[in-house]
Structure 1
Protein backbone atom coordinates (compact mmCIF):
# COMPACT_ATOMS: atom_id res chain seq x y z
CA UNK A 1 0.00 0.00 0.00
CA UNK A 2 1.28 3.44 -0.94
CA UNK A 3 1.48 6.32 1.49
CA UNK A 4 -1.17 9.01 1.03
CA UNK A 5 0.29 12.33 -0.01
CA UNK A 6 -1.77 15.38 0.87
CA UNK A 7 -1.16 18.83 -0.58
CA UNK A 8 -2.51 22.11 0.73
CA UNK A 9 -3.73 24.73 -1.72
CA UNK A 10 -1.70 27.94 -1.91
CA UNK A 11 -4.67 30.21 -1.20
CA UNK A 12 -5.48 28.28 1.98
CA UNK A 13 -1.85 28.51 3.10
CA UNK A 14 -1.81 32.28 2.52
CA UNK A 15 -5.11 32.85 4.33
CA UNK A 16 -4.14 30.73 7.34
CA UNK A 17 -0.69 32.38 7.55
CA UNK A 18 -2.25 35.85 7.50
CA UNK A 19 -4.74 34.83 10.19
CA UNK A 20 -1.95 33.51 12.41
CA UNK A 21 0.05 36.73 11.90
CA UNK A 22 -2.92 38.94 12.76
CA UNK A 23 -3.77 36.83 15.82
CA UNK A 24 -0.16 37.01 16.99
CA UNK A 25 -0.11 40.79 16.60
CA UNK A 26 -3.35 41.07 18.56
CA UNK A 27 -2.05 38.87 21.40
CA UNK A 28 1.19 40.85 21.64
CA UNK A 29 -0.75 44.11 21.68
CA UNK A 30 -2.98 42.82 24.47
CA UNK A 31 0.04 41.70 26.53
CA UNK A 32 1.72 45.03 25.92
CA UNK A 33 -1.38 46.92 27.08
CA UNK A 34 -2.03 44.77 30.16
CA UNK A 35 1.57 44.47 31.38
CA UNK A 36 2.89 47.87 30.25
CA UNK A 37 6.08 46.41 28.78
CA UNK A 38 6.34 49.19 26.21
CA UNK A 39 6.93 46.84 23.28
CA UNK A 40 4.77 48.97 21.01
CA UNK A 41 4.27 52.68 20.73
CA UNK A 42 0.91 54.15 21.60
CA UNK A 43 0.15 54.78 17.92
CA UNK A 44 1.11 51.21 16.88
CA UNK A 45 -1.00 49.75 19.67
CA UNK A 46 -3.98 51.91 18.72
CA UNK A 47 -3.64 51.01 15.04
CA UNK A 48 -3.57 47.32 15.94
CA UNK A 49 -6.78 47.48 17.97
CA UNK A 50 -8.49 49.60 15.31
CA UNK A 51 -7.53 47.29 12.43
CA UNK A 52 -8.26 43.92 14.06
CA UNK A 53 -12.10 44.14 13.94
CA UNK A 54 -12.24 45.07 10.20
CA UNK A 55 -9.71 42.34 9.42
CA UNK A 56 -11.79 39.84 11.37
CA UNK A 57 -14.85 40.94 9.38
CA UNK A 58 -12.94 40.49 6.11
CA UNK A 59 -11.89 37.01 7.22
CA UNK A 60 -15.47 36.05 8.01
CA UNK A 61 -16.46 36.92 4.44
CA UNK A 62 -13.45 36.11 2.24
CA UNK A 63 -11.38 33.87 4.49
CA UNK A 64 -14.15 31.34 5.02
CA UNK A 65 -14.76 31.25 1.26
CA UNK A 66 -11.07 30.68 0.47
CA UNK A 67 -10.82 27.94 3.10
CA UNK A 68 -13.91 26.20 1.72
CA UNK A 69 -15.80 26.54 4.99
CA UNK A 70 -18.61 28.60 3.47
CA UNK A 71 -20.08 29.31 0.06
CA UNK A 72 -20.17 32.94 -1.20
CA UNK A 73 -23.77 33.30 -0.02
CA UNK A 74 -22.94 31.84 3.40
CA UNK A 75 -19.83 34.05 3.56
CA UNK A 76 -21.99 37.13 3.09
CA UNK A 77 -24.28 35.94 5.88
CA UNK A 78 -21.29 35.41 8.19
CA UNK A 79 -20.06 38.91 7.37
CA UNK A 80 -23.46 40.37 8.23
CA UNK A 81 -23.50 38.44 11.50
CA UNK A 82 -19.99 39.66 12.32
CA UNK A 83 -20.94 43.29 11.62
CA UNK A 84 -24.04 42.86 13.78
CA UNK A 85 -21.92 41.51 16.67
CA UNK A 86 -19.35 44.33 16.34
CA UNK A 87 -22.08 46.97 16.37
CA UNK A 88 -23.53 45.42 19.54
CA UNK A 89 -20.14 45.25 21.28
CA UNK A 90 -19.43 48.90 20.52
CA UNK A 91 -22.87 49.97 21.65
CA UNK A 92 -23.78 51.49 18.30
CA UNK A 93 -26.67 49.20 17.46
CA UNK A 94 -30.07 50.79 17.89
CA UNK A 95 -33.55 49.77 16.84
CA UNK A 96 -33.76 52.58 14.27
CA UNK A 97 -30.43 51.53 12.73
CA UNK A 98 -31.56 47.90 12.64
CA UNK A 99 -34.81 48.87 10.91
CA UNK A 100 -32.88 50.95 8.38
CA UNK A 101 -30.53 48.02 7.63
CA UNK A 102 -33.43 45.59 7.21
CA UNK A 103 -35.28 48.05 4.98
CA UNK A 104 -32.23 48.59 2.76
CA UNK A 105 -31.53 44.86 2.58
CA UNK A 106 -35.14 44.13 1.58
CA UNK A 107 -35.04 46.75 -1.16
CA UNK A 108 -31.76 45.42 -2.53
CA UNK A 109 -32.99 41.81 -2.43
CA UNK A 110 -36.18 42.76 -4.31
CA UNK A 111 -34.06 44.69 -6.78
CA UNK A 112 -31.91 41.63 -7.50
CA UNK A 113 -34.93 39.30 -7.73
CA UNK A 114 -36.68 41.53 -10.26
CA UNK A 115 -33.47 41.72 -12.30
CA UNK A 116 -33.32 37.92 -12.25
CA UNK A 117 -36.95 37.66 -13.37
CA UNK A 118 -36.43 40.22 -16.15
CA UNK A 119 -33.23 38.57 -17.34
CA UNK A 120 -34.95 35.16 -17.41
CA UNK A 121 -37.81 36.55 -19.53
CA UNK A 122 -35.30 38.25 -21.81
CA UNK A 123 -33.28 35.02 -22.17
CA UNK A 124 -36.38 32.98 -23.04
CA UNK A 125 -37.53 35.49 -25.67
CA UNK A 126 -33.99 35.83 -27.02
CA UNK A 127 -33.64 32.07 -27.34
CA UNK A 128 -37.07 31.86 -28.98
CA UNK A 129 -35.89 34.05 -31.86
CA UNK A 130 -32.52 32.20 -32.14
CA UNK A 131 -30.67 35.16 -30.67
CA UNK A 132 -27.84 33.11 -29.11
CA UNK A 133 -27.06 31.57 -32.50
CA UNK A 134 -26.87 35.04 -34.06
CA UNK A 135 -24.57 36.27 -31.28
CA UNK A 136 -22.43 33.15 -31.64
CA UNK A 137 -21.99 33.66 -35.38
CA UNK A 138 -21.29 37.35 -34.85
CA UNK A 139 -18.63 36.94 -32.16
CA UNK A 140 -17.01 33.71 -33.36
CA UNK A 141 -16.40 35.29 -36.77
CA UNK A 142 -14.35 38.18 -35.39
CA UNK A 143 -10.81 38.54 -36.80
CA UNK A 144 -7.99 37.52 -34.51
CA UNK A 145 -9.52 34.36 -33.07
CA UNK A 146 -9.47 34.17 -29.28
CA UNK A 147 -7.52 37.42 -28.82
CA UNK A 148 -9.86 39.36 -31.08
CA UNK A 149 -12.88 37.94 -29.27
CA UNK A 150 -11.44 38.85 -25.84
CA UNK A 151 -10.57 42.41 -26.89
CA UNK A 152 -14.01 43.11 -28.39
CA UNK A 153 -15.86 41.52 -25.47
CA UNK A 154 -13.91 43.44 -22.83
CA UNK A 155 -14.37 46.75 -24.64
CA UNK A 156 -18.10 46.04 -24.87
CA UNK A 157 -18.34 45.08 -21.18
CA UNK A 158 -16.39 48.19 -20.18
CA UNK A 159 -18.75 50.58 -21.98
CA UNK A 160 -21.89 48.68 -20.92
CA UNK A 161 -20.73 49.08 -17.31
CA UNK A 162 -21.29 52.84 -17.64
CA UNK A 163 -25.04 52.23 -17.82
CA UNK A 164 -25.59 48.72 -16.43
CA UNK A 165 -24.82 47.40 -12.98
CA UNK A 166 -22.81 44.29 -12.16
CA UNK A 167 -26.01 42.28 -11.66
CA UNK A 168 -27.47 43.14 -15.07
CA UNK A 169 -24.21 42.29 -16.81
CA UNK A 170 -23.96 38.97 -14.96
CA UNK A 171 -27.54 37.89 -15.62
CA UNK A 172 -28.01 39.18 -19.18
CA UNK A 173 -24.69 39.63 -21.01
CA UNK A 174 -22.46 36.89 -19.56
CA UNK A 175 -24.82 33.97 -20.49
CA UNK A 176 -24.61 35.14 -24.11
CA UNK A 177 -20.81 35.27 -24.12
CA UNK A 178 -20.01 32.02 -22.27
CA UNK A 179 -21.11 29.59 -25.07
CA UNK A 180 -19.04 31.50 -27.64
CA UNK A 181 -15.98 31.45 -25.38
CA UNK A 182 -16.43 27.71 -24.82
CA UNK A 183 -16.68 27.10 -28.56
CA UNK A 184 -13.45 29.06 -29.13
CA UNK A 185 -11.64 26.85 -26.61
CA UNK A 186 -11.35 29.45 -23.84
CA UNK A 187 -11.30 28.15 -20.28
CA UNK A 188 -14.58 29.31 -18.75
CA UNK A 189 -13.18 29.74 -15.23
CA UNK A 190 -10.41 31.99 -16.56
CA UNK A 191 -12.94 33.83 -18.73
CA UNK A 192 -15.24 34.38 -15.75
CA UNK A 193 -12.42 35.88 -13.68
CA UNK A 194 -11.46 38.15 -16.58
CA UNK A 195 -15.02 39.45 -16.94
CA UNK A 196 -15.32 39.89 -13.16
CA UNK A 197 -12.22 42.09 -13.08
CA UNK A 198 -13.62 44.13 -15.97
CA UNK A 199 -17.08 44.45 -14.44
CA UNK A 200 -15.58 45.80 -11.22
CA UNK A 201 -15.17 49.10 -13.07
CA UNK A 202 -18.98 49.44 -13.02
CA UNK A 203 -18.67 50.40 -9.34
CA UNK A 204 -16.29 53.26 -10.07
CA UNK A 205 -17.18 55.18 -13.22
CA UNK A 206 -20.10 57.56 -13.65
CA UNK A 207 -22.98 57.96 -13.88
CA UNK A 208 -24.09 54.85 -11.92
CA UNK A 209 -20.99 53.81 -9.98
CA UNK A 210 -22.01 52.62 -6.51
CA UNK A 211 -18.60 53.47 -5.04
CA UNK A 212 -19.05 57.07 -6.17
CA UNK A 213 -22.39 57.27 -4.38
CA UNK A 214 -20.85 55.82 -1.23
CA UNK A 215 -18.09 58.43 -1.29
CA UNK A 216 -20.60 61.18 -1.94
CA UNK A 217 -22.61 60.11 1.12
CA UNK A 218 -19.60 60.36 3.48
CA UNK A 219 -17.68 63.25 1.89
CA UNK A 220 -18.35 66.72 3.35
CA UNK A 221 -20.74 68.88 1.38
CA UNK A 222 -19.97 72.13 3.18
CA UNK A 223 -16.77 73.49 4.68
CA UNK A 224 -16.02 72.54 8.29
CA UNK A 225 -13.32 73.07 10.94
CA UNK A 226 -11.15 70.07 11.79
CA UNK A 227 -11.27 69.20 15.49
CA UNK A 228 -7.57 68.28 15.71
CA UNK A 229 -5.79 70.78 13.46
CA UNK A 230 -8.42 73.55 13.86
CA UNK A 231 -8.10 74.24 10.13
CA UNK A 232 -10.92 74.97 7.73
CA UNK A 233 -11.52 71.94 5.47
CA UNK A 234 -13.06 72.66 2.11
CA UNK A 235 -15.96 70.51 0.86
CA UNK A 236 -15.49 67.68 -1.64
CA UNK A 237 -17.35 68.19 -4.91
CA UNK A 238 -18.89 65.44 -7.01
CA UNK A 239 -16.56 66.22 -9.90
CA UNK A 240 -13.55 65.70 -7.61
CA UNK A 241 -14.92 62.27 -6.68
CA UNK A 242 -15.33 61.40 -10.37
CA UNK A 243 -11.77 62.43 -11.19
CA UNK A 244 -10.47 60.61 -8.12
CA UNK A 245 -11.93 57.34 -9.42
CA UNK A 246 -10.11 57.60 -12.77
CA UNK A 247 -6.75 56.13 -11.55
CA UNK A 248 -8.53 53.12 -10.07
CA UNK A 249 -10.43 52.52 -13.32
CA UNK A 250 -7.13 52.67 -15.20
CA UNK A 251 -5.65 50.11 -12.78
CA UNK A 252 -8.58 47.78 -13.53
CA UNK A 253 -8.01 48.19 -17.29
CA UNK A 254 -4.31 47.38 -16.84
CA UNK A 255 -5.28 44.28 -14.85
CA UNK A 256 -7.56 43.13 -17.69
CA UNK A 257 -4.69 43.51 -20.15
CA UNK A 258 -2.31 41.61 -17.85
CA UNK A 259 -4.74 38.71 -17.43
CA UNK A 260 -5.13 38.43 -21.22
CA UNK A 261 -1.36 38.68 -21.79
CA UNK A 262 -0.37 36.40 -18.89
CA UNK A 263 -3.18 33.83 -18.38
CA UNK A 264 -1.13 32.10 -15.70
CA UNK A 265 -2.09 34.85 -13.25
CA UNK A 266 -5.46 33.10 -12.99
CA UNK A 267 -4.97 29.59 -14.35
CA UNK A 268 -1.88 28.77 -12.26
CA UNK A 269 -4.07 28.54 -9.16
CA UNK A 270 -6.55 26.13 -10.71
CA UNK A 271 -6.56 22.44 -9.90
CA UNK A 272 -3.96 20.52 -11.89
CA UNK A 273 -4.99 17.31 -13.72
CA UNK A 274 -4.44 14.10 -11.80
CA UNK A 275 -1.49 11.96 -12.92
CA UNK A 276 -2.05 8.23 -12.41
CA UNK A 277 0.80 5.76 -11.88
CA UNK A 278 -0.50 2.52 -13.38
CA UNK A 279 2.20 0.40 -11.75
CA UNK A 280 1.23 1.57 -8.25
CA UNK A 281 -2.45 1.05 -9.00
CA UNK A 282 -1.79 -2.51 -10.23
CA UNK A 283 0.33 -3.36 -7.18
CA UNK A 284 -2.28 -1.96 -4.83
CA UNK A 285 -5.10 -3.90 -6.51
CA UNK A 286 -3.10 -7.13 -6.53
CA UNK A 287 -2.36 -6.69 -2.82
CA UNK A 288 -6.01 -6.03 -2.03
CA UNK A 289 -7.14 -9.04 -4.09
CA UNK A 290 -4.64 -11.30 -2.32
CA UNK A 291 -5.82 -10.11 1.11
CA UNK A 292 -9.48 -10.50 0.22
CA UNK A 293 -11.57 -13.65 0.62
CA UNK A 294 -12.31 -14.02 -3.09
CA UNK A 295 -11.91 -17.57 -4.44
CA UNK A 296 -8.86 -18.16 -6.56
CA UNK A 297 -9.61 -18.25 -10.30
CA UNK A 298 -8.08 -21.20 -12.20
CA UNK A 299 -7.77 -20.88 -15.94
CA UNK A 300 -8.29 -24.19 -17.79
CA UNK A 301 -5.48 -25.61 -19.86
CA UNK A 302 -5.63 -25.27 -23.61
CA UNK A 303 -7.84 -27.91 -25.19
CA UNK A 304 -9.66 -28.83 -21.97
CA UNK A 305 -13.14 -27.84 -20.90
CA UNK A 306 -13.48 -25.53 -17.92
CA UNK A 307 -14.53 -27.05 -14.65
CA UNK A 308 -18.12 -26.55 -13.55
CA UNK A 309 -18.46 -23.30 -11.67
CA UNK A 310 -15.03 -22.08 -12.80
CA UNK A 311 -14.65 -18.60 -14.28
CA UNK A 312 -14.95 -18.35 -18.02
CA UNK A 313 -11.93 -17.11 -20.01
CA UNK A 314 -14.18 -14.38 -21.40
CA UNK A 315 -15.07 -13.15 -17.90
CA UNK A 316 -14.17 -9.54 -17.11
CA UNK A 317 -10.87 -8.94 -15.39
CA UNK A 318 -11.52 -6.37 -12.64
CA UNK A 319 -7.92 -5.19 -12.80
CA UNK A 320 -8.15 -4.65 -16.54
CA UNK A 321 -11.49 -2.89 -16.15
CA UNK A 322 -9.99 -0.51 -13.61
CA UNK A 323 -7.02 0.14 -15.89
CA UNK A 324 -9.32 0.87 -18.83
CA UNK A 325 -11.39 3.25 -16.67
CA UNK A 326 -8.28 5.16 -15.57
CA UNK A 327 -7.02 5.41 -19.16
CA UNK A 328 -10.42 6.70 -20.26
CA UNK A 329 -10.38 9.32 -17.48
CA UNK A 330 -6.91 10.46 -18.56
CA UNK A 331 -8.08 10.87 -22.17
CA UNK A 332 -10.95 13.09 -21.00
Structure 2
Protein backbone atom coordinates (compact mmCIF):
# COMPACT_ATOMS: atom_id res chain seq x y z
CA UNK A 1 0.00 0.00 0.00
CA UNK A 2 2.07 2.92 -1.29
CA UNK A 3 -0.45 5.72 -1.76
CA UNK A 4 -0.94 8.16 1.10
CA UNK A 5 -3.49 10.99 1.20
CA UNK A 6 -3.61 13.74 3.79
CA UNK A 7 -7.09 15.01 4.63
CA UNK A 8 -7.79 18.03 6.83
CA UNK A 9 -11.16 18.33 8.54
CA UNK A 10 -12.10 21.43 10.52
CA UNK A 11 -14.76 21.51 13.18
CA UNK A 12 -13.64 17.95 13.71
CA UNK A 13 -15.35 17.44 17.07
CA UNK A 14 -18.74 18.42 15.66
CA UNK A 15 -21.64 16.22 14.66
CA UNK A 16 -21.04 16.40 10.90
CA UNK A 17 -17.41 15.41 11.32
CA UNK A 18 -18.36 12.62 13.73
CA UNK A 19 -20.24 10.95 10.89
CA UNK A 20 -17.73 11.90 8.21
CA UNK A 21 -14.43 10.86 9.82
CA UNK A 22 -14.89 7.09 10.10
CA UNK A 23 -15.98 6.91 6.48
CA UNK A 24 -12.88 8.84 5.40
CA UNK A 25 -10.69 6.57 7.51
CA UNK A 26 -12.28 3.30 6.40
CA UNK A 27 -11.17 3.29 2.76
CA UNK A 28 -14.65 4.05 1.44
CA UNK A 29 -13.61 7.28 -0.27
CA UNK A 30 -10.01 6.77 -1.38
CA UNK A 31 -10.03 2.99 -1.74
CA UNK A 32 -8.45 0.03 0.06
CA UNK A 33 -4.98 0.68 -1.35
CA UNK A 34 -4.59 4.23 -0.02
CA UNK A 35 -3.50 5.13 3.49
CA UNK A 36 -5.24 8.13 5.04
CA UNK A 37 -3.68 10.66 7.40
CA UNK A 38 -6.39 12.70 9.14
CA UNK A 39 -5.38 16.20 10.24
CA UNK A 40 -8.13 17.39 12.55
CA UNK A 41 -8.67 21.01 13.59
CA UNK A 42 -10.72 22.45 16.42
CA UNK A 43 -10.88 25.80 18.20
CA UNK A 44 -8.19 26.43 20.82
CA UNK A 45 -8.67 25.34 24.41
CA UNK A 46 -8.40 28.98 25.45
CA UNK A 47 -11.56 29.71 23.46
CA UNK A 48 -13.59 26.57 24.17
CA UNK A 49 -11.80 23.84 26.14
CA UNK A 50 -14.42 21.15 25.56
CA UNK A 51 -13.91 21.25 21.79
CA UNK A 52 -10.37 19.92 21.96
CA UNK A 53 -11.35 17.43 24.66
CA UNK A 54 -14.14 16.19 22.42
CA UNK A 55 -11.77 15.92 19.49
CA UNK A 56 -9.35 13.86 21.54
CA UNK A 57 -12.24 11.51 22.29
CA UNK A 58 -13.08 11.25 18.59
CA UNK A 59 -9.46 10.40 17.83
CA UNK A 60 -9.60 7.65 20.46
CA UNK A 61 -12.67 6.17 18.77
CA UNK A 62 -10.96 6.25 15.38
CA UNK A 63 -8.00 4.41 16.87
CA UNK A 64 -10.37 1.84 18.36
CA UNK A 65 -11.83 1.11 14.92
CA UNK A 66 -8.42 -0.21 13.78
CA UNK A 67 -9.07 0.70 10.15
CA UNK A 68 -6.35 -0.83 7.93
CA UNK A 69 -6.37 2.32 5.79
CA UNK A 70 -5.92 4.82 8.65
CA UNK A 71 -2.22 5.63 9.01
CA UNK A 72 -2.18 8.56 11.41
CA UNK A 73 -4.40 11.04 13.27
CA UNK A 74 -3.15 14.55 13.97
CA UNK A 75 -5.20 16.54 16.49
CA UNK A 76 -4.55 20.28 16.64
CA UNK A 77 -5.94 23.74 17.27
CA UNK A 78 -3.49 25.37 14.84
CA UNK A 79 -4.45 25.96 11.20
CA UNK A 80 -0.87 25.70 9.95
CA UNK A 81 -0.47 22.26 11.48
CA UNK A 82 -3.88 21.08 10.29
CA UNK A 83 -3.29 22.13 6.68
CA UNK A 84 0.37 21.16 6.37
CA UNK A 85 0.80 19.13 3.18
CA UNK A 86 -2.90 18.25 2.85
CA UNK A 87 -4.35 16.95 -0.41
CA UNK A 88 -7.96 17.52 0.61
CA UNK A 89 -9.38 20.06 3.04
CA UNK A 90 -12.97 19.75 4.25
CA UNK A 91 -13.83 22.99 6.00
CA UNK A 92 -16.73 21.81 8.12
CA UNK A 93 -16.40 24.08 11.14
CA UNK A 94 -18.11 27.48 11.14
CA UNK A 95 -19.50 29.90 13.68
CA UNK A 96 -23.17 29.15 14.40
CA UNK A 97 -25.89 31.75 14.34
CA UNK A 98 -26.65 32.89 17.87
CA UNK A 99 -29.90 34.25 19.35
CA UNK A 100 -30.79 37.61 17.86
CA UNK A 101 -27.82 37.54 15.47
CA UNK A 102 -28.41 39.20 12.12
CA UNK A 103 -27.21 37.44 8.97
CA UNK A 104 -24.60 40.13 8.40
CA UNK A 105 -23.23 39.53 11.91
CA UNK A 106 -22.96 35.82 11.14
CA UNK A 107 -21.17 36.54 7.89
CA UNK A 108 -18.67 38.81 9.62
CA UNK A 109 -18.02 36.32 12.43
CA UNK A 110 -17.31 33.56 9.93
CA UNK A 111 -15.22 35.87 7.78
CA UNK A 112 -12.60 36.05 10.53
CA UNK A 113 -12.39 32.24 10.65
CA UNK A 114 -12.17 31.72 6.90
CA UNK A 115 -9.70 34.54 6.36
CA UNK A 116 -7.20 32.69 8.56
CA UNK A 117 -7.96 29.31 7.04
CA UNK A 118 -7.60 30.58 3.47
CA UNK A 119 -4.22 32.10 4.25
CA UNK A 120 -3.04 28.96 6.06
CA UNK A 121 -4.13 26.71 3.21
CA UNK A 122 -2.24 28.82 0.69
CA UNK A 123 0.87 28.67 2.86
CA UNK A 124 0.80 25.03 3.90
CA UNK A 125 -1.36 22.79 1.69
CA UNK A 126 -0.05 20.52 -1.05
CA UNK A 127 0.12 22.02 -4.52
CA UNK A 128 -2.90 20.19 -5.90
CA UNK A 129 -5.09 20.49 -2.81
CA UNK A 130 -8.85 20.30 -3.32
CA UNK A 131 -10.92 22.31 -0.86
CA UNK A 132 -14.59 21.89 -0.01
CA UNK A 133 -16.31 24.39 2.28
CA UNK A 134 -19.18 22.80 4.20
CA UNK A 135 -19.63 25.22 7.11
CA UNK A 136 -22.42 27.71 6.51
CA UNK A 137 -22.91 30.15 4.92
CA UNK A 138 -20.69 27.97 2.78
CA UNK A 139 -20.75 29.87 -0.53
CA UNK A 140 -19.57 33.11 1.03
CA UNK A 141 -17.24 31.36 3.49
CA UNK A 142 -15.63 29.75 0.44
CA UNK A 143 -15.37 33.15 -1.24
CA UNK A 144 -13.60 34.60 1.80
CA UNK A 145 -11.19 31.68 2.11
CA UNK A 146 -10.38 31.76 -1.61
CA UNK A 147 -9.77 35.49 -1.70
CA UNK A 148 -7.40 35.12 1.25
CA UNK A 149 -5.70 32.10 -0.28
CA UNK A 150 -5.45 33.03 -3.94
CA UNK A 151 -2.12 31.28 -4.39
CA UNK A 152 -4.34 28.21 -4.73
CA UNK A 153 -6.00 28.22 -8.19
CA UNK A 154 -9.71 28.93 -8.19
CA UNK A 155 -10.65 25.60 -9.77
CA UNK A 156 -9.41 23.85 -6.61
CA UNK A 157 -12.06 25.50 -4.40
CA UNK A 158 -15.70 24.58 -3.93
CA UNK A 159 -18.66 24.82 -1.59
CA UNK A 160 -21.19 22.12 -0.90
CA UNK A 161 -24.49 21.97 -2.71
CA UNK A 162 -24.29 18.17 -3.00
CA UNK A 163 -26.48 17.75 0.08
CA UNK A 164 -29.16 19.84 -1.65
CA UNK A 165 -28.63 17.88 -4.86
CA UNK A 166 -29.15 14.58 -3.06
CA UNK A 167 -32.27 15.92 -1.39
CA UNK A 168 -33.63 17.05 -4.74
CA UNK A 169 -32.94 13.67 -6.36
CA UNK A 170 -34.61 11.83 -3.50
CA UNK A 171 -37.72 14.00 -3.61
CA UNK A 172 -38.20 13.53 -7.36
CA UNK A 173 -37.62 9.79 -7.10
CA UNK A 174 -40.15 9.46 -4.28
CA UNK A 175 -42.80 11.44 -6.15
CA UNK A 176 -42.27 9.48 -9.38
CA UNK A 177 -42.06 6.13 -7.61
CA UNK A 178 -38.67 5.26 -9.10
CA UNK A 179 -35.23 4.36 -7.74
CA UNK A 180 -32.93 7.25 -6.88
CA UNK A 181 -30.46 6.27 -9.62
CA UNK A 182 -33.18 6.75 -12.25
CA UNK A 183 -33.22 10.50 -11.54
CA UNK A 184 -30.47 12.36 -13.42
CA UNK A 185 -29.46 15.83 -14.57
CA UNK A 186 -30.56 17.59 -11.41
CA UNK A 187 -29.07 21.01 -10.69
CA UNK A 188 -28.91 23.17 -7.59
CA UNK A 189 -28.41 26.72 -8.78
CA UNK A 190 -27.01 29.43 -6.53
CA UNK A 191 -26.69 29.55 -2.78
CA UNK A 192 -26.73 26.77 -0.20
CA UNK A 193 -29.63 28.49 1.53
CA UNK A 194 -33.38 28.70 1.27
CA UNK A 195 -33.05 30.73 -1.93
CA UNK A 196 -31.38 27.87 -3.84
CA UNK A 197 -33.15 26.71 -7.00
CA UNK A 198 -33.52 22.94 -7.38
CA UNK A 199 -34.03 22.88 -11.14
CA UNK A 200 -36.64 20.33 -12.20
CA UNK A 201 -36.97 21.65 -15.75
CA UNK A 202 -33.65 20.21 -16.89
CA UNK A 203 -33.87 17.08 -14.73
CA UNK A 204 -34.65 13.66 -16.16
CA UNK A 205 -36.42 10.60 -14.81
CA UNK A 206 -35.67 7.33 -16.59
CA UNK A 207 -34.18 9.42 -19.38
CA UNK A 208 -37.33 11.48 -19.93
CA UNK A 209 -37.81 15.12 -18.92
CA UNK A 210 -38.95 15.15 -15.30
CA UNK A 211 -41.89 17.38 -16.22
CA UNK A 212 -43.18 14.65 -18.56
CA UNK A 213 -43.05 12.06 -15.79
CA UNK A 214 -44.32 14.35 -13.02
CA UNK A 215 -46.96 16.38 -14.84
CA UNK A 216 -48.23 18.23 -11.78
CA UNK A 217 -46.46 21.52 -12.34
CA UNK A 218 -48.16 23.04 -9.31
CA UNK A 219 -46.59 20.38 -7.08
CA UNK A 220 -43.17 20.98 -8.63
CA UNK A 221 -43.33 24.74 -8.06
CA UNK A 222 -45.16 24.97 -4.74
CA UNK A 223 -44.20 21.75 -2.93
CA UNK A 224 -41.01 20.33 -4.41
CA UNK A 225 -39.00 23.56 -4.63
CA UNK A 226 -39.85 24.86 -1.13
CA UNK A 227 -39.38 21.37 0.31
CA UNK A 228 -35.82 21.26 -1.00
CA UNK A 229 -35.13 24.82 0.08
CA UNK A 230 -36.40 24.31 3.63
CA UNK A 231 -35.38 20.69 4.19
CA UNK A 232 -32.72 21.50 6.77
CA UNK A 233 -35.17 23.50 8.87
CA UNK A 234 -37.76 20.72 8.62
CA UNK A 235 -35.24 18.18 9.94
CA UNK A 236 -34.31 20.42 12.86
CA UNK A 237 -38.01 20.78 13.69
CA UNK A 238 -38.42 16.99 13.71
CA UNK A 239 -35.31 15.82 15.56
CA UNK A 240 -34.19 18.93 17.41
CA UNK A 241 -30.78 18.74 15.76
CA UNK A 242 -29.36 19.61 12.36
CA UNK A 243 -29.03 17.18 9.46
CA UNK A 244 -25.54 15.97 10.36
CA UNK A 245 -25.22 12.60 8.67
CA UNK A 246 -26.85 13.69 5.40
CA UNK A 247 -24.53 16.72 5.34
CA UNK A 248 -21.53 14.46 5.92
CA UNK A 249 -22.76 12.16 3.17
CA UNK A 250 -23.08 15.09 0.77
CA UNK A 251 -19.51 16.19 1.52
CA UNK A 252 -18.20 12.68 0.90
CA UNK A 253 -20.21 12.38 -2.32
CA UNK A 254 -18.58 15.63 -3.51
CA UNK A 255 -15.11 14.21 -2.88
CA UNK A 256 -16.02 10.90 -4.53
CA UNK A 257 -17.19 12.83 -7.59
CA UNK A 258 -13.78 14.49 -7.83
CA UNK A 259 -12.19 11.04 -7.93
CA UNK A 260 -14.52 9.45 -10.49
CA UNK A 261 -15.64 10.76 -13.91
CA UNK A 262 -19.26 11.83 -14.16
CA UNK A 263 -21.31 9.34 -16.20
CA UNK A 264 -21.86 10.40 -19.80
CA UNK A 265 -24.94 12.53 -20.28
CA UNK A 266 -25.35 13.32 -16.59
CA UNK A 267 -24.07 15.93 -14.19
CA UNK A 268 -24.14 16.78 -10.49
CA UNK A 269 -24.13 20.00 -8.48
CA UNK A 270 -21.40 22.01 -6.77
CA UNK A 271 -20.79 25.63 -5.89
CA UNK A 272 -17.66 26.79 -7.70
CA UNK A 273 -16.02 30.11 -8.49
CA UNK A 274 -17.69 31.70 -11.48
CA UNK A 275 -15.90 32.85 -14.60
CA UNK A 276 -19.06 34.59 -15.75
CA UNK A 277 -21.05 31.49 -16.74
CA UNK A 278 -24.80 32.01 -17.02
CA UNK A 279 -24.35 35.73 -16.34
CA UNK A 280 -23.05 35.27 -12.80
CA UNK A 281 -20.38 37.89 -12.00
CA UNK A 282 -16.83 36.57 -12.09
CA UNK A 283 -15.45 35.53 -8.74
CA UNK A 284 -18.76 34.73 -7.06
CA UNK A 285 -19.11 31.25 -5.55
CA UNK A 286 -22.29 30.00 -7.19
CA UNK A 287 -24.04 26.64 -7.44
CA UNK A 288 -23.89 25.17 -10.94
CA UNK A 289 -24.39 21.91 -12.81
CA UNK A 290 -20.93 20.36 -13.05
CA UNK A 291 -19.12 17.38 -14.51
CA UNK A 292 -15.96 15.76 -13.17
CA UNK A 293 -13.05 14.43 -15.20
CA UNK A 294 -12.12 12.06 -12.38
CA UNK A 295 -8.81 13.89 -11.86
CA UNK A 296 -10.10 16.40 -9.32
CA UNK A 297 -11.43 18.91 -11.85
CA UNK A 298 -15.01 20.11 -12.19
CA UNK A 299 -16.34 21.86 -15.29
CA UNK A 300 -19.58 23.80 -15.53
CA UNK A 301 -22.16 22.34 -17.88
CA UNK A 302 -22.91 24.92 -20.59
CA UNK A 303 -26.01 25.68 -22.61
CA UNK A 304 -28.87 24.94 -20.20
CA UNK A 305 -31.95 27.13 -20.38
CA UNK A 306 -34.37 28.21 -17.68
CA UNK A 307 -38.04 29.05 -18.08
CA UNK A 308 -39.67 32.13 -16.55
CA UNK A 309 -40.20 30.43 -13.19
CA UNK A 310 -36.65 29.10 -13.10
CA UNK A 311 -35.16 32.43 -14.11
CA UNK A 312 -36.98 34.19 -11.27
CA UNK A 313 -35.57 31.70 -8.77
CA UNK A 314 -32.10 31.98 -10.31
CA UNK A 315 -32.22 35.77 -10.01
CA UNK A 316 -33.35 35.58 -6.36
CA UNK A 317 -30.49 33.34 -5.26
CA UNK A 318 -27.97 35.39 -7.24
CA UNK A 319 -29.25 38.54 -5.53
CA UNK A 320 -28.75 36.98 -2.10
CA UNK A 321 -25.18 35.93 -2.90
CA UNK A 322 -24.32 39.40 -4.19
CA UNK A 323 -25.70 40.87 -0.96
CA UNK A 324 -23.56 38.46 1.09
CA UNK A 325 -20.51 39.41 -0.94
CA UNK A 326 -21.21 43.08 -0.34
CA UNK A 327 -21.56 42.48 3.41
CA UNK A 328 -18.00 41.11 3.62
CA UNK A 329 -16.39 43.20 0.88
CA UNK A 330 -13.98 44.93 3.26
CA UNK A 331 -12.48 41.56 4.15
CA UNK A 332 -11.89 40.45 0.57
CA UNK A 333 -8.40 41.17 -0.75
CA UNK A 334 -8.36 42.28 -4.38
Range class of TM-score, shorter chain: under 0.3
Comparing both chains, which one has the higher relative contact order based on Cα–Cα distances under 8 Å and sequence gaps of 6 or more? 2
- Greater Cα radius of gyration, structure 1 or 2: 1
Q: Which has the higher helix share?
A: 1
**TM-score for both structures, normalised by structure 2:** 0.24
Q: Which has the higher strand share?
A: 2
